Amino acid sequence: MSAEEQEHSPDDVQQHLRMVQELLARQRLGEDLANRQEAGEGILQREHLEEMRELLEGMHPADIAFVLEALPLEDRLFVWNLVKAERDGEILLEVSDAVRESLIETMEPEELKAAAESLDADELADLAPNLPPEVIQDVYQSLDPEGREQLRAAMSYPEDTVGALMDFDMVTVREDVTLEVVLRYLRRFEELPDHTDKLFVVDRDEHLRGILTLENLLIHDPEMEVAEVMGTEPVISFIPEDDAGDAAQAFERYDLVSAPVVDSEKRVIGRLTVADMVDYIREEGEQEILSNAGLREEEDIFASVWDSVKNRWAWLAINLVTAVFASRVIGLFEGSIEKLVALAALMPIIAGIGGNSGNQTITMIVRAIAMGQIEPSAMRRLLRKEIGVALFNGVVWGGFLGAMAWWLYGNWQLGVVMTSAMTLNLLLAASAGVIIPMMRMRMGKDPALGGSVMITALTDSGGFFIFLGLATIFLL
């Protein structure tokens, strides 16, 4: 496929991946032939390399990043070395943190410096934590005074704030000029900044006065002044210290494409774009999934065994402790299980349904926290509501399981115990599903971290204890 054909199918990243994998397979075959000293293999290898270079050249940096993430380390580095050096910076920004580390480790300081110098200040700030200090220092010295100030500002704001996400590439105009002047000014640009749907109207001191949409710029008389057409509705703007999650919600609520970022004196210092928000939401979603499973950080799927072990061991150790505790709970009732074998067959049902119900509750609560829909003061109200849901489900589904146990084992008392244990374990799961994330939020911790692990441990141990305890009291 030629570069021109690829430009007409930018969404076909899976096909690109398959083509790269096929070319890598051919390359390995060529190497095997070379080792056997077969004739003509050198020409074949060169043809495969050239074909892969052409393929990569026609791909978007984000697609190349996807391909790199999907390849084992050896193949990944081989492909990475074929990428044109001037695209290194863009691709490093697109790949995941874990894969980025594997690529940076193979690059010389001069290569890293060249890649970093190709980026804007806000992009460089994103890449800076992964670069060696000496490279950052060299790049900083190479910037002009404005670039240094922008880089310093971008790196000074905490992660997950608007200041850490904003970019400095924007267009501002004065309110006392005509639209014709604005149009002539825009024609001086080779291209407008990405996602430019509006121009920020400022005074002589860069204070935000309003916005001029491109639509108003184009449909009104060029002789009119900006102040006449810039609109009177309130301008949605942000300050650098604003929470990035709140900004993402505002973008979704008001269908924003871009928005100005202002300082404490209302001077325009940057802007947010929908692309920034989409990236943030995606990263937060991935982090929430990882946290809920007890993973500390994003993991390269082709990472070494040791790296994966380090990422996963902590919550596995906790899970091991809770599993041992659950087994000891069962051990307390060995005599009961020996007398009534049906208990061994039924108790996994109690624990499994409780764990599923608890995970449903904690997922809903964590989502609501992430979207800013609930405050810590709402815990009691949420607890009452979830207990009501658990009570209903416990009576209905517990009753169904109780009837099934009665039918299977001919023991109505066992059915009553089954219904009671199911109801009590669902109440325990609902309570934990609300309390665990809400208490972590109050303590300033990630409410999603290890949620499913903790819920499963609690409903397993609690479910076994409740079911076997009730059976011991009422059946034996």
pLDDT digits (tens, 9 = 90+) for 209-261: 999 999 999 999 999 999 999 877 789 999 999 999 889 989 988 999 999 99
pLDDT at 291 over 80: no
Mean pLDDT over all residues of the chain?
Answer: 84
CATH number reported for the structural domain that contains residue 204 in this entry:
3.10.580.10
- pLDDT confidence tier of residue 139, bands split at 50, 70 and 90: confident
- pLDDT confidence tier of residue 300, bands split at 50, 70 and 90: low
Q: How many CB atoms sit inside 10 A of residue 45's CB?
A: 17
258-262 and 208-213 as β-strands: parallel, antiparallel, unpaired? unpaired
The predicted model gives 441-463 an average pLDDT of 80
pLDDT at 80: 93
Residues 146 and 214 in one domain: no
pLDDT at 274 over 90: yes
Residues 228 and 193 in one domain: yes
Residues 381 and 460 in one domain: yes
Which residue type does 466 have? I
Residues 315 and 460 in one domain: yes
Any domain includes 300: no
CATH number reported for the structural domain that contains residue 409 in this entry:
1.10.357.20
The tens digit of pLDDT for each residue in 82-117 reads 898 889 999 998 888 888 888 998 999 899 999 988
Closest by CA position to 437, among listed 389, 387, 368: 368
pLDDT at 181: 95
pLDDT at 374: 79
CATH number reported for the structural domain that contains residue 142 in this entry:
1.25.60.10
Residues 143 and 231 in one domain: no
Any domain includes 297: no
Any domain includes 166: no
pLDDT at 177: 94
Any domain includes 194: yes
pLDDT at 308: 67
3-state SS, the chain, equals CCHHHHHCCCCCHHHHHHHHHHHHHHHHHHHHHHHCCCCCHHHHHHHHHHHHHHHHHCCCHHHHHHHHHCCCHHHHHHHHCCCCHHHHHHHHHHCCHHHHHHHHCCCCHHHHHHHHHCCCHHHHHHHHHHCCHHHHHHHHHHCCHHHHHHHHHHHHCCCCEHHHHCECCCCEEECCCEHHHHHHHHCCCCCCCCCCCEEEEECCCCEEEEEEEHHHHHHCCCCCEHHHHCCCCCCCCECCCCEHHHHHHHHHHHCCCEEEEECCCCEEEEEEEHHHHHHHHHHHHHHHHHHHCCCCCCCCCCCCHHHHHHHHHHHHHHHHHHHHHHHHHHHHCHHHHHHCCHHHHHHHHHHHHHHHHHHHHHHHHHHHHHCCCCCHHHHHHHHHHHHHHHHHHHHHHHHHHHHHHHHHHCCHHHHHHHHHHHHHHHHHHHHHHHHHHHHHHHCCCCCCCCHHHHHHHHHHHHHHHHHHHHHHHHHC
Any domain includes 198: yes
Residues 417 and 319 in one domain: yes
Any domain includes 164: no
User: Can you read off the two tokens belonging to residue 349?
Assistant: 């049902």
User: Based on the structure, what is the number of domains in the chain?
Assistant: 3
Any domain includes 103: yes
Q: Which of 137, 159, 181 is the last residue of a domain?
A: 159
pLDDT at 40: 47
Q: Which of 264, 292, 320 is the last residue of a domain?
A: 292
Residues 153 and 188 in one domain: no
Residues 247 and 368 in one domain: no
In the chain, % of residues over pLDDT 70: 88
Residues 464 and 354 in one domain: yes
Residue range(s) defining the domain that contains residue 421: 305-475
The predicted model gives 299-321 an average pLDDT of 70
Q: Say if residues 118 and 91 touch (Cβ distance below 8 Å).
A: no
CA 405, 410, 415, 417 dihedral sign is: negative
Q: Which of 102, 131, 159 is the last residue of a domain?
A: 159
- pLDDT confidence tier of residue 296, bands split at 50, 70 and 90: low
- pLDDT confidence tier of residue 35, bands split at 50, 70 and 90: low
Residues 139 and 221 in one domain: no
Residues 76 and 194 in one domain: no
Residues 309 and 287 in one domain: no
pLDDT at 27 over 50: yes
Q: Which residue has the tokens 């517990």?
A: 398
- pLDDT confidence tier of residue 321, bands split at 50, 70 and 90: confident
The tens digit of pLDDT for each residue in 177-199 reads 999 999 999 999 989 999 999 99
Any domain includes 48: yes
pLDDT at 237: 95
